[in-house]
């Protein structure tokens, strides 16, 4: 009788555990489920990590913080992000070094509207642990210039302005699948100049990552998933200059059913965070 009660209890408990709805599941590039611990163990051996997020996805932001905190326990970290434009580096550094307050950072730098909820925890982690945080993105005004007039418009910038972008001329391969997909996705709104503007962002982020990378450190970079999906974008530019470094990539995807990775999401990155479609957005 006791055995029967134990078995029934075990089955009921198992049913509760295994019937829980998971908000996310982590997969490797081949669509196999992996644990957070296994992902962390693999990534802590890298030189540079690109964490591709959905900008409004709380799971992305939570895991960014958790992974940053955990990697900091075993590696010397340098942090960097798409969300900060290169000409705002001095303000970001001043805040981390406690030379200016948050309100001053907010008034001086061009912070994203979701900074306080999604990126402030990462910046404050750098501040509390005295970590370098690199503003890697091209100032938006220059990316917009490329969007309006193509790469050639960058030649008109003065010497100081060119300090905030990747060295000219910027290499570009319009046949990269992710760049070609931009034209497909944008339809009538797509243009070669739009793709070039994307490339200036990717190239500039790669440039500032490598410019600030230090041996024996792990550079952890946060960016929109599209900037590193399918091992292209930022990574394409990184490998052109430093193919000898060890890179790790993470992507975020959203599915109705997180328990089986869709074929279209295979090979997006070394690790793919599959989030439930119903997950609340941060904005």
| pLDDT, tens digit (0-9, with 9 covering 90-100), for 158-175 | 999 999 999 999 999 999
Q: Which residues of the chain have pLDDT under 50?
A: 1-18
| pLDDT, tens digit (0-9, with 9 covering 90-100), for 45-65 | 999 999 999 999 999 999 999
H or E element, residue 197: helix 192-212
Per-state percent for the chain, helix, strand, coil, to nearest 5: 50, 20, 30
Structure tokens given for 191: 């243009």
| Domain residue extents for the chain | 23-276
Predicted local confidence at residue 16, as pLDDT:
42
Q: Which residue has the tokens 């295979």?
A: 266
Q: At what angle do helices 177-186 and 192-212 cross, to 10 degrees?
A: 140
Three-state helix/strand/coil letters over 231-281 = HCCHHHHHHHHCCCCCEEEEEEEEECCCCCCCHHHCCCCCEEEEEECCCCC
| pLDDT, tens digit (0-9, with 9 covering 90-100), for 85-126 | 999 999 999 999 999 999 999 999 999 999 999 999 999 999
DSSP string, 76-132: EEEEEEEEEEGGGHHHHHHHHTTSS-HHHHHHHS---TTIIIIIHHHHHHHHHTT--
Predicted local confidence at residue 7, as pLDDT:
43
Predicted local confidence at residue 45, as pLDDT:
97
Query: How far is 283 from 121, CA to CA, in rounded Å?
Result: 17
Query: How far is 49 from 45, CA to CA, in rounded Å?
Result: 10
What CATH number was assigned to the domain covering residues 23-276?
A: 3.40.50.11550
H or E element, residue 218: strand 217-224
Predicted local confidence at residue 21, as pLDDT:
80
How many CA atoms does the CB half-sphere of 85 hold within 13 Å? Answer: 16
Predicted local confidence at residue 19, as pLDDT:
54
Structure tokens given for 136: 């890697």
Predicted local confidence at residue 107, as pLDDT:
97
């Amino acid at each position: 009788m006791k055995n029967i009660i134990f078995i029934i209890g075990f089955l009921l408990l198992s049913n509760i555990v295994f019937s829980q709805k998971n908000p996310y599941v982590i997969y490797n590039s081949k669509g196999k489920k992996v644990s957070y611990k296994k992902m962390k163990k693999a990534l802590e051996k890298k030189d540079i990590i690109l964490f591709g997020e959905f900008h409004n996805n709380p799971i992305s932001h939570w895991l960014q913080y958790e992974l940053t905190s955990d990697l900091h326990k075993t590696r010397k970290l340098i942090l960097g992000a798409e969300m900060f434009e290169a000409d705002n580096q001095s303000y970001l550094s001043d805040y981390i070094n406690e030379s200016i307050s948050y309100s001053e950072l907010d008034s001086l730098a061009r912070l994203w509207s979701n900074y306080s909820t999604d990126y402030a925890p990462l910046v404050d982690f750098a501040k509390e642990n005295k970590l370098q945080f690199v503003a890697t993105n091209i100032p938006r005004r220059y990316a917009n210039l490329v969007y309006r007039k193509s790469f050639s418009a960058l030649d008109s910038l003065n010497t100081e302005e060119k300090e905030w972008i990747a060295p000219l001329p910027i290499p570009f391969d319009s046949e990269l699948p992710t760049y070609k997909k931009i034209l497909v996705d944008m339809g009538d709104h797509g243009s070669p100049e739009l793709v070039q503007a994307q490339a200036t962002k990717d190239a500039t982020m790669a440039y500032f990552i490598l410019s600030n990378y230090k041996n024996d450190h792990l550079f952890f970079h946060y960016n929109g998933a599209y900037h590193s999906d399918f091992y292209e974008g930022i990574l394409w530019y990184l490998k052109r200059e430093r193919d000898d470094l060890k890179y790790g990539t993470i992507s975020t995807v959203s599915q109705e059913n997180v328990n089986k990775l869709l074929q279209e999401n295979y090979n997006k990155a070394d690790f793919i965070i599959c989030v439930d479609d119903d997950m609340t957005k941060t904005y």
